[in-house]
Structure 1
């Protein structure tokens, strides 16, 4: 055998084909892994979107069912919460009967209270509390009325 000459034999066709198949298999394996990663990302995103739309559907269903319910029956002429003291009931009764605006002095007179500075000031304080709760309005300084619907 002559060792000085390079091997000029053509490559074995079987080895060459196997090498090409291996390279193609590696390329396809890489594409499969990349595609699977994209599928996993999209599957996660799909789950998030499905959860968000389900929350919206539940909210819609809840709101519709609440809107269809009859409101709790309100006892007519029931005093507002926290204002069941007889003085507040009397004040609201006077406003209900007059239907107009009143000053603290006029209200004290209508309630048969003594027209002293202290008595009028007590009525004014109660009127201010009713205004702070939105039960009455002060249309101008010292003039009180029921809010209009």
Structure 2
């Protein structure tokens, strides 16, 4: 090997080392940016979660305050069935009662009840999400238990074991099958 070839080889190794060092610096900078973004993402997820729970709670309270007390018999001037209450910006999930069909639910809640009704065993939120047409991503999966709990509170579903949901009233869905959406 000639001196020129050795010098050329040393220059090549030095160039590769310099490129490697520059690449390492870029990787460290990107890792630092990712760590910062992950911290910001987690903080925003927490804010989003708190706002979502607050909005859902307020919507429930407004809905419950808007529904007249129907515990007594209807009087001569009271209708037998209360008129549906419309609250702008709130998703209304009515309490289950005999004769009320799944069609009375907002679309996403109806889809959830129908998916759970079709299952042979109780289901988890992560099993329900893809079956109602949502992407199985963390944000969608984390938002679904709130809806499932609301359906339990309103008598549509049961949760005999934590995180496992089943249909509370089979006739609710069977009577509603075949209805147009």
- TM-score, length-normalised on structure 1? 0.43
Bigger Rg, which one: 1
- TM-score, length-normalised on structure 2? 0.37
